[in-house]
Amino acid sequence: MIQSLSVVPGFDLWPGLLDADAQRALVSRVLEADEIAPFAHYGTPQGKAMSVGMTSFGPLGWISDRGGYRYADSHPGTARPWPPMPQALLDLWATLGDPETPPDACLINLYRGDARMGLHQDRDEADPRFPVLSISLGDTAVFRIGGTSRKDPTRSLKLASGDVCRLSGPARLAFHGVDRVIAGSSSLVPGGGRINLTLRRARAG
């Protein structure tokens, strides 16, 4: 396996971990998922629509509306269960996440145009001892990560297609986000843009 880079304590990056075939296979599964659970620009509790299109794989999917942020067992638009999680993602989690407790949610984020993700913490999960795994597909993202307080200093780095990173331990609740996506830096995603997959364990182990 490719050697990981420790960016900050608890935030590890495996550059180019997924080869071209693995990347194409995952994009194909995402396109299939979009037919069952279409990408949606969820509203926030403040009533604004997110710039990032979202859907999910797995038993649970993350959603947002005026009622708040939460996990749900069905797509809010279709009321159908989320499409099953690809085996390749389950295998990746078993290797880099937790070999005994499988993930139960995989958020699929689609960045196009000026889409971005402000600094936030992943704290809707029951047990933060489980890591978050993030897989980049398509256009390169300018990613920013800080500490567990909004006032902590941040640093930025580029995440390219096939890169995999993990937030665990001291970085599990670190503030992080995507400042921008470099349009045209990859031709992987039909129609352009970046797909980000984040594997989580939402329920208690």
Q: Where are the domains of the chain?
A: 5-200
CA angle 158, 163, 166 (to 5 degrees): 95
Give the pLDDT score at 21.
98
**Cα–Cα nearest to 135, from 8, 10, 18:** 18
Q: What is the mean pLDDT of residues 144-166?
A: 97
- Rounded to whole angstroms, how far apart are CA atoms 143 and 140? 9
CATH number of the domain located at residue range(s) 5-200 in this protein: 2.60.120.590
With contact defined as beta carbons under 8 Å apart, do 23 and 163 qualify? no
Task: Provide the sign of the torsion angle of the four alpha carbons 13, 19, 25, 30, taken in this order.
Answer: positive
Residue 172 above 80 pLDDT?
Answer: yes
Give the pLDDT score at 134.
98
Give the pLDDT score at 24.
98
Distances (CA, A) of 48 to 43, 66, 123, 137, 180: 5, 9, 20, 26, 19
Give the pLDDT score at 3.
85
With contact defined as beta carbons under 8 Å apart, do 64 and 44 qualify? yes
pTM for the predicted model, two decimal places = 0.96
Contacts of 203 (CB under 8 A, 6+ apart): 60, 104, 126
- Rounded to whole angstroms, how far apart are CA atoms 93 and 199? 7
Give percent of the chain above pLDDT 70.
100
